[in-house]
Chains A and B, each alone.
Chain A
Amino acid sequence: MSTFLQQLFNALALGGVYALVALGLTLVYGVMRVPNFAHGGLYMLGAYLSYAVLTGLGWGYVPALLISAVGVALLAAFMERVIFYPMRNAPHVHPMIAAIGVLFFLEAAVQLVWGPDFKQITEPVPGIVNVGGVIVTWQRLLVIAASVVVMLGLNYFLKRTLTGATIEAMSQNREGARLVGVNTNRVGMMTFAISGALAAAAATLIAPIISVSPSMGEVMNLKVFAIIILGGMGSVPGAIVGAFLLALAEVFGGYYISLDFSDVIGFAMLVIVLALKPQGLFKRGT
């Protein structure tokens, strides 16, 4: 029982990180109708920016997380301006290829600056805690708590503020949004910035548990695309549910079947869900 709970905590922490990364991707897809293949690159860059602030400047974990989130948000907004915006009327395959280019560019740039070897971010709160007989690291608890807080904040922004509502409005009816006077360029940039900040925050949260490397973005890319396809492209609840489903499948599959198969299990689940519900779990009305 206690190993089960232990694995459950692991899955929740992993799912929280997946959810943050997938949420940004699904928001951008909803607004721009373009899958941003560079998203994993933003995630990876977020981890390195935090690493740089922590080791280069010697600042604390929280400032590192905030600086990294703001930095990647600005870069993502800039990317929308110089790459996706000029291609808004081009066939969809053009921005897709450009995004893959950005992914490789970011990877190569990071490798040039920090080298190809693994980096380690130390835990801000080291040690373990005993939660009713279950041993959990503080970092995992921090990941779970922080991802829940960020998701609640995002939910508040999308559901309770007019600026947040413009993101949903634009993803549901772009022309309708323009007719009421929403500046769709600004919403596009804002959505990219949010997706960048979420990815950077997620990367900084999980970095002490895994290690930081230039290729970490590609692995995450595969997983978050699986998640948003599973949940329904553009769906916010779909991204969250999909993230935790994938994390549960990976962690429990890895523990009870074989660690070697943990990635396989996640994608097997994707294949099964898509075979039964080709639109994903949360089909969108539009």
Chain B
Amino acid sequence: MLEIRDLSVNYGHFTALHSLNLTVSPGEIVVMLGANGAGKSTLFRTLSGLQRPSGGTATWNGVSLTGGKPEFNVANGVAQCPEGRLLFPELSVEKNLRLGAFVHRKDAAGTARELERVYELFPALVEKRNVPAGSLSGGQQQMVAIARALMARPTLLLLDEPSLGLAPLVVEQVFEAVQRVNAAGVGVLLAEQNAFAALGIAHRGYVLEGGCVSLQGSQHELMTDDRVRSAYLGV
């Protein structure tokens, strides 16, 4: 269970998150909607230990995520696929994936098994395994980024804008993969601009505005909410 209580994050005098409360149960897909600058990436950076909060708590299965040690959070089962992917462009696809399993470096057999699983999830990556990740198409790079996060064998996957800049058909593939990962029991917290696709696969959702939760509800409630429909679904 991801429990975020009264989480605040400041950059200097600017408050990026303002007493945010949010939960994700194991095995749930939760979507966060919100415009640029609403605080989604700040929340993800905080949950990955890259950013220290100025107040509040965030725990995954009771273990604090705000200690400022990203490697600890990954080992604790929280992996992030960041916006912009942040791949290692000159390393091969496979080496990117193997580095994703860095926290399991003592367990070679487990990493080999996981590698097989992510290639099964994204078969397009198999023939690209020895190609530098930076030379792949945007969609394939996004697959590498998700696969790299999965190599850490997370129980909670943080997905930041996975559909950004991708063709509709590729978005569909990516979201299908997310559903399959979730079906295997991995909780997913998903930040998306593509609200329609995201709500399509989510169980619940939150709407972030100016660093606060302005609205929350089930998939059905958000889909039928007039404010969500006009602001994020464009209907």
Contacts and interface: CB of A to CB of B under 8 A. Distances in A.
A235 B69 CA distance: 29
Interface string B56-99: 00000000000000110111000110100111111100010011
Contacts of B48: 179
Given A166-B99, A166-B102, A179 B82 contact: yes
B178 interface: no
A176 B87 contact: yes
B103 A285 contact: no
B50 A172 contact: no
Contacts of B105: 162
Contact of B71 (A162, A169, A175, A182): A182
Contacts of A286: 89-90
Contacts of A172: 88-91
A165 B91 contact: yes
Contact of A168 (B75, B88, B134, B152): B88
Contacts of B88: 168-169, 172-173, 176-177
B100 interface: yes
A180 B73 CA distance: 10
Contacts of B148: 180
Interface string B159-174: 0000000000000000
B99 A175 contact: no
A55 interface: no
In the A-B complex, the 5 residue pairs with the closest CB atoms? A176-B86, A181-B74, A181-B71, A181-B103, A172-B88
Nearest to A169: B88
Interface residues of A, number: 19
A277 interface: no
B100 to A, nearest CB: 5
A165 B99 contact: yes
Interface string A154-192: 000000001001101100110111111111000000000
B86 A173 contact: yes
B82 A168 contact: no
Main secondary structure of the interface of A (DSSP, over half): helix
A179 B102 contact: no
12 contacts: A165-B91, A165-B95, A168-B88, A169-B91, A173-B87, A173-B89, A176-B86, A178-B70, A179-B80, A180-B103, A181-B74, A181-B103
Contacts, number: 73
Contact of A162 (B80, B98, B134): B98
A182 B70 CA distance: 8
Contacts of B90: 168, 172, 284-286
A135 B99 CA distance: 48
A179 B74 contact: yes
A179 B99 contact: no
Contacts of B151: 180
Interface of B: 48, 50, 70-71, 73-75, 79-80, 82, 85-91, 95, 98-100, 102-103, 105, 134, 148-149, 151-152
B86 to A, nearest CB: 3
Given A178-B50, A179-B79, 6 more contacts: A168-B90, A169-B99, A175-B82, A178-B70, A179-B50, A181-B75
Nearest to B72: A181
Nearest to B134: A285
Contacts of B86: 173, 175-176, 179
Contact of B99 (A162, A284, A285): A162
B50 A162 contact: no
B91 A168 contact: yes
A175 B87 CA distance: 9
Interface string A271-286: 0000000000000111
A285 B89 contact: yes
Nearest to A182: B102
Q: Which of A166, A169, A285, A286 has most B Cβ within 10 Å?
A: A169
A181 B152 contact: yes
A187 to B, nearest CB: 11
A175 B89 contact: no
Contacts of A168: 88, 90-91
Contacts of A165: 91, 95, 98-99
Contact of B102 (A162, A173, A175, A284): A162
A182 B101 CA distance: 10
Contacts of A285: 89-90, 134
A178 B69 CA distance: 9
A112 B99 CA distance: 46
A182 B49 CA distance: 12
A192 to B, nearest CB: 20
